[in-house]
Amino acid sequence: MSESGSRGSEGALEGPRDLVKYTFYRLRPEWRRLSEEDRSRGKQALAAILARPPDGVTSRTYSLVGLKGDADLLLWAIAAEIPPLQEFHARVAGSPMGGYLDVSYSYLGMARRSEYMGGHAHGGEGSSTTRRPQGRPYLFVYPFVKKREWYSLPFEERRRMMGEHFRVGHHYPTIDIHTGYSFGLDDPEFILAFEADEPGLFLDLVYELRSSEASRYTELETPIFTCRLVGPAEALGLADGIP
């Protein structure tokens, strides 16, 4: 579902590009055996850290409680440079509650302009080197890898097939796409994220794209995460078992 591929060193002319970081945490069961007082203090301290990220970092918290077996919350962080991202995650890890959070999944990507979209952009994505949350209540995240045969196809052939993807996307104008390019930065080629108002819309979009020609060149698009946007205190409360 990503506009994958590149031509030469054109990306080097883009200028500053946002880094996008998706960190999925699982809260250890041992945390819930602590006293109510210790848990309350720990949640308040970590919620304060999440609510006030370092300068230059944009962040959102999401809950996956009951939606994924090995992840309870997602921290989505965006910054123009790596050091503030590291500082933010170090603050989380160094908090009392952070000592009970295991990182179950972690993905790093970078924004860049899509070569396939030309002057067109769907949902503000594709012609921009920035990524910003739109605030829709659901976020769907997954890594994405194309088969190597894809990159051997002529560029015009790839652009034709991706055009079909964009046309399908036009049927879902309330779904916002955030593509992170991970070539050389992380294990996947892309980390894809889609904001939507309700899960059924995204289900229908993915189903419709299954029959597209470009989908034949998909190598990997799992694991998939369904995430609900909540504030830091609510995200921690749900993970703690106190909704």
Catalytic residues: 142
Interatomic CA distance for residues 219 and 8, integer angstroms: 23
Q: How far is CA 55 from the centre of its chain?
A: 20
Q: Residue 66 carries which side chain, given as an amino acid letter?
A: G
Q: How far is CA 23 from the centre of its chain?
A: 9
Interatomic CA distance for residues 2 and 144, integer angstroms: 8
Per-residue CA distances from 206 to 2, 59, 172, 177, 199 (Å): 12, 26, 11, 13, 11
Q: Residue 110 carries which side chain, given as an amino acid letter?
A: M
Asked if 58 and 132 count as a contact pair (C-beta separation under 8 A), the reply is yes
DSSP 6-61: --TTGGGGS----EEEEEEEEE-GGGGGS-HHHHHHHHHHHHHHHHSPPTT-EEEE
Cβ neighbours around 78 below 10 Å, total: 22
Residues 6+ apart with CB under 8 A from 3: 114, 115, 116, 117, 126, 162, 165, 179
